[in-house]
Structure 1
């Protein structure tokens, strides 16, 4: 009786079945991870859609980023920071 012997599957059949099982479990695990990350994303607001652009940075933040990237030196950073703090809203009038 050869009914239980290999179910008439060749080596490639076993390989395909194993590969299919790995792909199935990878898909299930990936779905759970994506759902978990979407539900536990910190700082998200419900009223803001995910495709909305980020809030604009303040002038001080932009200046600090340029300084951190090395685009300007410390003297230039301090000078521009003083101008921002001394002029404030009056800068828009010029």
Structure 2
């Protein structure tokens, strides 16, 4: 029987690589199992702003003049 140091670095390298592969496979298995039971919550639907809200925003940003705002607001109120 030979009990010497005949295996060299090749055996150690092979064992290290195979251990690394085993750890990666176990991590992937745990990750995939954890993803199976997870249910994503639905994202809340954002409501569209009303025409009056859009008009208010345009006035606040300075896109329209107050006189123009009043005229458009009257038109919107008449449509109700």
Q: Could you state the TM-score of these two structures normalised by the residue count of structure 1?
A: 0.38
Report 1 or 2 for greater relative contact order, CA contacts < 8 Å, sequence distance ≥ 6.
2
When Rg is computed on C-alpha atoms for both structures, the one with the higher figure is 2
